[in-house]
Amino acid sequence: MTTSNRLKHILITASLLSLMACSSTSEETTMSDPTQSMTNLQKAVAVISSIETGDKTAIAYINPENYTQHNLAVADGLAGFGAVLHQLPEGSAKARVTRAFQDGDYTVTHTEYNFFGPKVGFDVFRFEDGKIVEHWDNLQAIAPLNPSGRSQLDGATEVTDLDKTDANKAIVTDFVETILMNGDMSKIGQFIDSEDSDYIQHNPAITDGLSGLGKALGELAAADMPMVVSKNHAILGQGNFVLSINEGTFMNQHVAFYDLFRLRNGKIVEHWDTIETIPAPSEWQNPNGKFGF
């Protein structure tokens, strides 16, 4: 590392530590590496939570020289992350992780935010050698309870059925291709059972069960605004939870779909999602694109 780059790295790191520091300045921080005793999932949760808590140690979990950003409103690297934090009104941030799981080098968190307004979001981190080197997310405004009385974040949180991870990922992969992309609704029974109580829905506009899903899709089609899933970019899962990251069109806009499914006994039984509009490239703050898995 050149002297100039080393100085730049020191200045960026010092700035971020200041932004994320707790109000008490008397507490000493250590320069030792705190990452060795933590799992990647614990580190991911700590980074998200630090937006609210100001945990000084969380910055150490991000690679300061190699951090690729896929949130298109944020510039690359730690400098971009720090700039966003700097824009937040003091004391306004909220970041409370509801569910989290790990798939190889990837972690997934599902979080309630107050980040320039109340939001629900999925964050995906990729790790190399115990450090975060890449980040994706998908955010949506918090909405009122859906017609079944469910929020965008409540529901089951426990990761179970670890021995079924590969099988559950295969089921969701098939569901995305067969139902969401090809629209072959004649095969929906292979993935979701027919009683309304068999499928718990957390989308803010849709009721429980296949009946609720069918009604919502029918209304969109009748309004000449069908939901179109054109490409799957990633399937990430652990045990009973599987996240599908897709690209497509919703309300005639280019969007990213993040759909989280909970499975039981080979069927999808619960669903959460966020849908975020993808801005025009001229508005991007980094060159990395929304996906890039």
pLDDT, tens digit (0-9, with 9 covering 90-100), for 87-99: 777 777 899 999 9
Containing domain of residue 94, as a range? 3-22+36-142
151: in domain: no
Give the mean pLDDT of the chain.
88
Of 42, 68, 74, 64, residue with least CA distance to 55: 42
238: in domain: yes
Q: Tens digits of per-residue pLDDT, 117-159?
A: 899 999 999 999 999 999 999 999 999 999 999 999 999 999 9
Say which CATH number the domain at 131 has. Answer: 3.10.450.50
% of the chain surpassing 70 pLDDT = 88
Same domain, 138 and 166: no
Write down the pLDDT at residue 118: 95
293: in domain: no
User: Residue 195: pLDDT above 90?
Assistant: yes
Confidence of residue 27 (pLDDT cuts 50, 70, 90): very low
Write down the pLDDT at residue 11: 34
Neighbouring CB atoms inside 10 A of 6's CB total 10
Same domain, 105 and 201: no
- Overall average pLDDT of the 50-71 stretch: 91
% of the chain surpassing 90 pLDDT = 72
Same domain, 172 and 133: no
Task: Count the domains in the chain.
Answer: 2
Same domain, 119 and 210: no
Same domain, 198 and 126: no
The H or E element that residue 86 is part of is helix 77-87
The pTM is what?
A: 0.87
Buried b (16+ CB within 10 A) or exposed e, 152-180: bbebeeebebeebbeebbebbeebbebbb
